[in-house]
Chains A and B, each alone.
Chain A
Protein backbone atom coordinates (compact mmCIF):
# COMPACT_ATOMS: atom_id res chain seq x y z
CA UNK A 1 0.00 0.00 0.00
CA UNK A 2 1.95 3.02 -1.28
CA UNK A 3 -0.65 5.61 -0.27
CA UNK A 4 -0.55 8.76 -2.41
CA UNK A 5 2.27 8.96 -4.93
CA UNK A 6 3.30 11.94 -7.04
CA UNK A 7 5.59 12.26 -10.05
CA UNK A 8 7.89 13.94 -10.74
CA UNK A 9 9.46 14.93 -7.45
CA UNK A 10 11.14 17.98 -8.95
CA UNK A 11 10.81 19.79 -12.28
CA UNK A 12 12.30 22.87 -13.89
CA UNK A 13 10.34 24.51 -16.70
CA UNK A 14 10.85 27.54 -18.88
CA UNK A 15 8.09 30.10 -19.16
CA UNK A 16 5.51 28.95 -21.68
CA UNK A 17 6.30 25.25 -21.47
CA UNK A 18 3.63 22.76 -20.52
CA UNK A 19 3.69 19.78 -18.23
CA UNK A 20 1.47 17.37 -16.34
CA UNK A 21 1.87 16.50 -12.69
CA UNK A 22 0.76 12.97 -11.92
CA UNK A 23 -0.94 11.74 -8.77
CA UNK A 24 -2.16 8.26 -7.90
CA UNK A 25 -3.62 6.64 -4.79
CA UNK A 26 -4.10 2.96 -4.02
CA UNK A 27 -6.45 3.35 -1.04
CA UNK A 28 -9.72 3.19 -3.00
CA UNK A 29 -10.53 6.79 -2.08
CA UNK A 30 -13.17 8.70 -3.99
CA UNK A 31 -12.16 12.29 -3.27
CA UNK A 32 -8.89 13.72 -4.53
CA UNK A 33 -7.40 17.22 -4.29
CA UNK A 34 -4.61 19.34 -5.69
CA UNK A 35 -3.05 22.06 -3.50
CA UNK A 36 -0.14 24.42 -3.94
CA UNK A 37 2.11 25.64 -1.14
CA UNK A 38 4.03 28.90 -1.40
CA UNK A 39 6.55 30.27 1.14
CA UNK A 40 4.88 31.99 4.07
CA UNK A 41 1.44 30.86 2.99
CA UNK A 42 -0.75 27.94 3.77
CA UNK A 43 -1.71 25.36 1.20
CA UNK A 44 -4.32 26.60 -1.25
CA UNK A 45 -6.76 24.37 -3.10
CA UNK A 46 -6.41 24.35 -6.87
CA UNK A 47 -8.94 21.67 -7.86
CA UNK A 48 -11.06 19.01 -6.24
CA UNK A 49 -12.54 15.78 -7.60
CA UNK A 50 -15.35 13.99 -5.78
CA UNK A 51 -15.22 10.95 -8.04
CA UNK A 52 -14.13 9.68 -11.42
CA UNK A 53 -15.12 12.09 -14.16
CA UNK A 54 -16.03 14.99 -11.85
CA UNK A 55 -13.93 18.03 -10.99
CA UNK A 56 -14.53 21.31 -9.18
CA UNK A 57 -12.50 24.50 -9.03
CA UNK A 58 -10.84 25.51 -5.80
CA UNK A 59 -9.45 28.82 -4.63
CA UNK A 60 -6.68 29.24 -7.26
CA UNK A 61 -7.62 27.34 -10.46
CA UNK A 62 -6.42 29.86 -13.06
CA UNK A 63 -3.66 28.51 -15.29
CA UNK A 64 -4.39 24.88 -14.45
CA UNK A 65 -6.46 22.03 -15.81
CA UNK A 66 -7.15 18.66 -14.22
CA UNK A 67 -8.18 15.23 -15.34
CA UNK A 68 -9.74 12.43 -13.31
CA UNK A 69 -9.94 9.55 -15.79
CA UNK A 70 -10.26 6.81 -13.20
CA UNK A 71 -10.60 6.35 -9.48
CA UNK A 72 -6.86 6.04 -8.81
CA UNK A 73 -5.39 8.93 -10.78
CA UNK A 74 -5.82 12.69 -10.72
CA UNK A 75 -3.50 14.74 -12.92
CA UNK A 76 -2.77 18.48 -12.93
CA UNK A 77 -1.74 20.17 -16.16
CA UNK A 78 -0.02 23.48 -16.70
CA UNK A 79 -0.66 24.46 -20.31
CA UNK A 80 1.68 27.47 -20.41
CA UNK A 81 3.81 27.71 -17.30
CA UNK A 82 4.46 31.10 -15.69
CA UNK A 83 6.99 32.08 -12.99
CA UNK A 84 4.04 32.68 -10.63
CA UNK A 85 3.37 28.95 -10.77
CA UNK A 86 6.68 28.19 -9.08
CA UNK A 87 5.51 26.32 -6.02
CA UNK A 88 5.28 22.98 -4.27
CA UNK A 89 2.27 20.99 -5.42
CA UNK A 90 0.58 18.46 -3.20
CA UNK A 91 -1.99 15.88 -4.11
CA UNK A 92 -4.30 14.44 -1.46
CA UNK A 93 -7.10 11.92 -1.19
CA UNK A 94 -9.86 11.25 1.33
CA UNK A 95 -11.65 8.05 2.28
CA UNK A 96 -15.26 7.55 1.20
CA UNK A 97 -18.27 7.32 3.47
CA UNK A 98 -20.11 9.45 5.94
CA UNK A 99 -18.49 11.45 8.71
CA UNK A 100 -15.41 13.57 8.97
CA UNK A 101 -12.31 11.99 7.55
CA UNK A 102 -8.84 13.38 7.16
CA UNK A 103 -6.98 13.78 3.90
CA UNK A 104 -3.86 11.78 3.02
CA UNK A 105 -1.12 13.74 1.29
CA UNK A 106 1.52 12.79 -1.23
CA UNK A 107 5.18 13.87 -0.87
CA UNK A 108 4.80 16.82 -3.23
CA UNK A 109 6.23 18.00 -6.54
CA UNK A 110 8.59 20.95 -6.48
CA UNK A 111 8.18 23.06 -9.60
CA UNK A 112 10.47 25.88 -10.66
CA UNK A 113 9.42 28.01 -13.63
CA UNK A 114 12.18 30.20 -15.05
Chain B
Protein backbone atom coordinates (compact mmCIF):
# COMPACT_ATOMS: atom_id res chain seq x y z
CA UNK B 1 0.00 0.00 0.00
CA UNK B 2 1.38 3.37 -1.02
CA UNK B 3 2.09 5.79 1.82
CA UNK B 4 3.11 9.41 1.38
CA UNK B 5 4.86 11.46 4.05
CA UNK B 6 5.59 15.18 4.05
CA UNK B 7 8.25 16.94 6.08
CA UNK B 8 8.12 19.39 7.75
CA UNK B 9 4.52 19.53 8.93
CA UNK B 10 4.79 23.31 9.28
CA UNK B 11 7.28 25.93 8.21
CA UNK B 12 7.57 29.64 8.89
CA UNK B 13 10.03 31.74 6.90
CA UNK B 14 10.71 35.43 6.27
CA UNK B 15 9.73 36.90 2.95
CA UNK B 16 12.32 36.47 0.21
CA UNK B 17 13.75 33.21 1.50
CA UNK B 18 14.17 30.19 -0.75
CA UNK B 19 12.67 27.04 0.72
CA UNK B 20 12.27 23.33 0.11
CA UNK B 21 9.33 21.12 0.98
CA UNK B 22 9.89 17.38 1.12
CA UNK B 23 7.70 14.47 0.14
CA UNK B 24 8.53 10.77 0.39
CA UNK B 25 6.61 7.73 -0.83
CA UNK B 26 6.99 4.06 -0.05
CA UNK B 27 6.23 2.43 -3.41
CA UNK B 28 8.15 3.54 -6.50
CA UNK B 29 5.36 2.23 -8.76
CA UNK B 30 3.69 5.61 -9.20
CA UNK B 31 2.35 7.01 -12.46
CA UNK B 32 3.16 10.55 -11.47
CA UNK B 33 3.80 12.83 -8.51
CA UNK B 34 1.72 15.95 -8.08
CA UNK B 35 1.97 19.01 -5.90
CA UNK B 36 -1.13 20.95 -4.86
CA UNK B 37 -1.78 24.15 -2.96
CA UNK B 38 -4.68 24.47 -0.53
CA UNK B 39 -5.77 27.80 0.94
CA UNK B 40 -7.76 27.78 4.21
CA UNK B 41 -11.34 26.67 3.64
CA UNK B 42 -10.74 26.13 -0.07
CA UNK B 43 -10.27 23.30 -2.50
CA UNK B 44 -6.99 22.14 -3.98
CA UNK B 45 -5.19 23.84 -6.85
CA UNK B 46 -2.71 21.89 -8.93
CA UNK B 47 0.80 23.38 -9.02
CA UNK B 48 2.98 20.85 -10.78
CA UNK B 49 2.70 17.32 -12.13
CA UNK B 50 5.81 15.21 -12.74
CA UNK B 51 5.38 12.12 -14.86
CA UNK B 52 7.14 8.97 -13.68
CA UNK B 53 9.61 9.25 -16.59
CA UNK B 54 10.54 12.84 -15.73
CA UNK B 55 12.97 14.21 -13.20
CA UNK B 56 11.57 17.69 -12.65
CA UNK B 57 9.02 20.31 -13.63
CA UNK B 58 9.15 24.08 -13.32
CA UNK B 59 6.49 26.75 -13.17
CA UNK B 60 7.55 30.29 -12.40
CA UNK B 61 9.19 30.35 -8.96
CA UNK B 62 8.30 26.71 -8.34
CA UNK B 63 10.44 23.72 -9.18
CA UNK B 64 9.54 20.15 -8.31
CA UNK B 65 11.85 17.17 -8.61
CA UNK B 66 11.19 13.45 -8.54
CA UNK B 67 13.55 10.62 -7.66
CA UNK B 68 11.62 7.38 -7.92
CA UNK B 69 14.55 5.21 -6.89
CA UNK B 70 14.79 6.90 -3.49
CA UNK B 71 11.05 7.53 -3.19
CA UNK B 72 11.41 11.27 -2.84
CA UNK B 73 10.10 14.49 -4.32
CA UNK B 74 10.91 18.06 -3.39
CA UNK B 75 9.14 21.32 -4.08
CA UNK B 76 11.47 24.30 -4.26
CA UNK B 77 9.97 27.77 -3.87
CA UNK B 78 12.23 30.64 -4.81
CA UNK B 79 12.01 34.12 -3.33
CA UNK B 80 9.01 33.32 -1.15
CA UNK B 81 6.20 35.86 -0.77
CA UNK B 82 3.43 36.28 1.81
CA UNK B 83 0.97 35.19 -0.90
CA UNK B 84 2.69 31.79 -0.92
CA UNK B 85 1.30 31.11 2.56
CA UNK B 86 -0.89 28.01 2.26
CA UNK B 87 -0.85 24.27 2.81
CA UNK B 88 1.14 22.34 0.21
CA UNK B 89 0.14 18.77 -0.51
CA UNK B 90 1.97 16.16 -2.51
CA UNK B 91 0.22 13.14 -3.99
CA UNK B 92 1.28 10.05 -5.88
CA UNK B 93 -0.85 8.85 -8.77
CA UNK B 94 -1.39 5.10 -8.47
CA UNK B 95 -3.34 2.31 -10.09
CA UNK B 96 -5.83 2.46 -12.92
CA UNK B 97 -7.59 5.79 -12.95
CA UNK B 98 -4.66 7.75 -11.53
CA UNK B 99 -6.08 7.59 -8.03
CA UNK B 100 -4.15 9.92 -5.77
CA UNK B 101 -2.52 9.03 -2.44
CA UNK B 102 -1.89 12.20 -0.48
CA UNK B 103 0.55 13.26 2.18
CA UNK B 104 -0.74 15.18 5.19
CA UNK B 105 0.67 18.44 3.88
CA UNK B 106 3.10 21.17 4.91
CA UNK B 107 1.62 24.37 6.30
CA UNK B 108 3.73 27.26 5.03
CA UNK B 109 3.71 30.73 6.47
CA UNK B 110 5.74 33.47 4.81
CA UNK B 111 6.18 36.48 7.05
CA UNK B 112 6.41 39.99 5.61
Q: Is B55 an interface residue (CB 8 A)?
A: no
A107 at interface, CB cutoff 8 A: yes
Contacts of B108 in A (CB 8 A): none
- A25 contacts B by Cβ under 8 Å: no
Complexed CA–CA distance, A45 and B105 (Å): 16
Does chain A have a CB within 8 A of B43? yes
Please pick, from B34, B46, B98, B104, the residue contacting A40 in the complex, using a CB distance under 8 A.
B104
State whether A105 and B49 are in contact (beta carbons under 8 Å apart), knowing that A42-B105, A45-B100, A100-B98 are contacts in the complex. no
On A, residues with C-beta under 8 Å from B are 4, 31, 33, 35, 40-45, 48, 50, 56, 58-59, 90, 92, 94, 99-108
A35-B100, A43-B89, A101-B98 are known; give 20 further A-B pairs, CB within 8 A: A31-B98, A40-B104, A42-B89, A42-B91, A43-B102, A44-B102, A45-B99, A48-B99, A56-B97, A59-B101, A92-B44, A99-B51, A100-B31, A100-B98, A101-B49, A102-B49, A103-B34, A103-B98, A105-B45, A107-B42
Residues of B whose CB lies within 8 Å of any CB of A are 4, 31-32, 34, 36, 41-46, 49, 51, 89, 91, 93, 96-105
